[in-house]
Every structure is written in structure tokens, then in C-alpha cells.
Amino acid sequence: MKVLFLSVPTGQGHHQTAKAVQEYLAGQPEVTCEFLDVVDNTSTLLAEYLQKGYLLSTTKTPRVYGTIYDMADRRDATKASGLGRVVKSILNKKLFEYIKAYNPDIIVATHLISAMAFTYLRKKHEIRAKAIAIVTDFTFHPFWEDTKMDYYITASELLEYQAIKKGHPAERIKPFGIPIQPHFADKQSKEDVRRQLGIEDKFTVLVMMGSMGYGSSTLETVRTLNRMNEDFQLITVCGNNKKLKNSIDRMTKYKPIVNYGYTNQVATLMDAADCIITKPGGLSTSEALAKNLPIIMLDPIPGQEDRNKEFMLNNGIALSVSETFPVTEAVYQLIHHPFKAEMLKHNIRHIAKPYAARDVGQFMAELYKSMKKE
């Protein structure tokens, strides 16, 4: 079985999703995988726009981004979007040459732009490969309506109605979850992990940034928590935001604060924590859910992360900070009223998909078997 993963450079989540499935398939006999960043390999101009333009829109002009998202969500789904036309004009030729040379059995798109590109390509050329899209949020981005894949991997069964409403037949929807690294399915005791990390065995709050650097209120959140009277400690993960890390390092600390920049120990840090404060990104949320870790949502990116927040609130698996419900109140409740955390954990058990990478890989293997019989 030959598998080709297609993604684009907008944060690490889409690449990491592909990597998680690749790692599962690496242990299977007679399977080969290749990964292609369709933008980096076809259009330097579009790659720069996606990397810098997306970051600018979500950090400098988030309301504008959210407005555009909402307009797209309300548009006539029968008409091609402007983004779709751009993708069609730029990506097709080189992408088709790559696919023709590799000749995969299954193509997996982990970003809607790569799914768009493949959709337009398949309208022009005969491609024998089965096409799978992995939707990496707890919602269907409106531009998914510009795609036509054979199957869509979704985060939850609860997205089925939304998918059908947006024109995707129920038989194409496979709610295996957002694929994450397998070690997030493993759970270590808090006491053991805290001992390994050399930190105190007490209530622990994990604060995490997203890989794209969004999260302007994170520093103020840490400062506010640092001044609370309750006895707890903080673990902060700043990702690639060096300015934030330096600011936290220089803070006057009234509580123990262990401050990380980029780290590959996220699964371990989640095991050490009693709750996580993070923005509601699809991948990071899926990782926390796999760990059965109560989530306090902060700074959603307008658009898809607003929809992620709605999903989690409506299903009782996370708390959301607002002007009238500050982060201090959320943490206070979790410390002093343990039933609140247990309520969240109970609901999380119904939503979490810790073995999504395995389930997607097994589905692909079964799909390949059925293709050979045809």
C-alpha cells in the first residue's frame, strides 16, 4: 500500500496529524508513505502568504479574519470560493506531476487547501487513488464545501449533522477522531511524573501557547494566576514565542513556575497537570482530551476555533474564559470544588479519541484491501 499525505504550512497541527498516522503505518508490513507540503513544493509565493499572512490575520487583525470566516460560512456552497480559484490556478500542474510519479493507492489531505487542490485535480485527470480528508477541528470549515473526497475523518460523531448539512453524505463521514501521537493515549500517575520533572506534588496548572504564536493575553493570564492566594504551581509552554518566554522568566514569582519554550514533553506535562489553559486548537484539544485533562479555553482564533469552543462548551468538556468568568474563577472552582473537574472528565470520556491514528490507519488498510478486490 502506497500512501501520500498532503498538507500545507499553516502551523504544526496539520503536519503533526499526518505524522501521527504515518508513525502507525510505519509498523505495518508492505506499507510505504510519503509526505508532501503541496504549497512549499509548488508555489513559494503562496507558501509565504499562508505562513505570514495567516499569522498576521490571526494576531494583528483577528476580527477581520473572523468576519471573512463567517461570510464564507454563509455563502452559496454551489459557487466556487475565491480561495478555491486561487488554489486551482496555482497548485494543479506540479501536484499532478508528483502524484503521477509516486502513483499512490491512497491520498490523505490534512488541510482543506490540499483537499481543494486534489479535488480540482481529479476533475481534470483520472486518478485511481482513494482520497481521504482529515478535518482537524471540531467543526467543518466552510471551504470544505469546495472539496469532494471519498471519505472525511472527523473529530466526533456529533459533527455528522453539520457534515450532511454542508453536502457531505453520511456514508463518507468516518468519526475516528483527530489523529494524535500514540503516547497521548498512555497515562502516568501525577505523583510519578512530578517526581520525574522535579516539581512539587500539588495542584498544577498547565498553560500552553499555540505553535503559530497567537495568544496575546497569555502573559497577563500567568501574571494574574501568579497573584492568586491558592496554593498551586504553574507549568508554562510558550512554543516559538521567545518574547513571551523571556517575559515569564523575568517575572517576580509568588508561585513555583516552570517555564518552557518549545518542548517535545507535552504529553508528560499533561500527565503532571490537573488542568490546562490553552486556546481551542483541534490538535492540542484532542491531546488534552486523550489525557482526560480538564480544559480552560483562552484566546480562540476567530473562525474555526470559535466553533471549536462552541462544540466543547455545548458538550460539557471544557470551560471558557470571558469578561464575566475570568481565568482565576475557573482555576478557583477546579481547586476548591473537585466535582467540577470530575464532571468535565466524565463528559470527556465520551468525546476523546485517543486511538484515532490507529483507527485511521486500520481503515486505510481495509480500504486498500477492498480496492485490490475490485
- Residue 353 corresponds to which amino acid? K
Q: Which is nearest to 33 in space by CA: 8, 2, 11?
A: 2
| 279 or 53, greater pLDDT | 279
Backbone angles phi, psi at 307, to 5 degrees: -70, -35
Residue 41: pLDDT over 70: no
CA 367 to chain centre: 25
Residue 123: pLDDT over 90: no
Residue 222 confidence (pLDDT): 95
| pTM score, whole prediction | 0.87
Residue 28 confidence (pLDDT): 86
Using pLDDT thresholds of 50, 70 and 90, give the confidence band for residue 221: very high
Average pLDDT, the chain: 86
- Residue 195 corresponds to which amino acid? R
Least confident of 33-47, 105-119, 304-318: 33-47
Tens digit of each residue's pLDDT (9 = 90 or more) over 159-177 = 999 999 888 999 999 999 9
Q: Are 10 and 23 in contact (CB under 8 A)?
A: no
Tell me the average pLDDT across 253-275.
Answer: 96
Tell me the average pLDDT across 65-93.
Answer: 53
Residue 184 confidence (pLDDT): 95
Least confident of 193-197, 239-243, 252-256: 239-243
CB atoms within 10 A of CB 218: 25
Residue 134: pLDDT over 60: yes
Tell me the average pLDDT across 83-109.
Answer: 77
CB atoms within 10 A of CB 89: 11
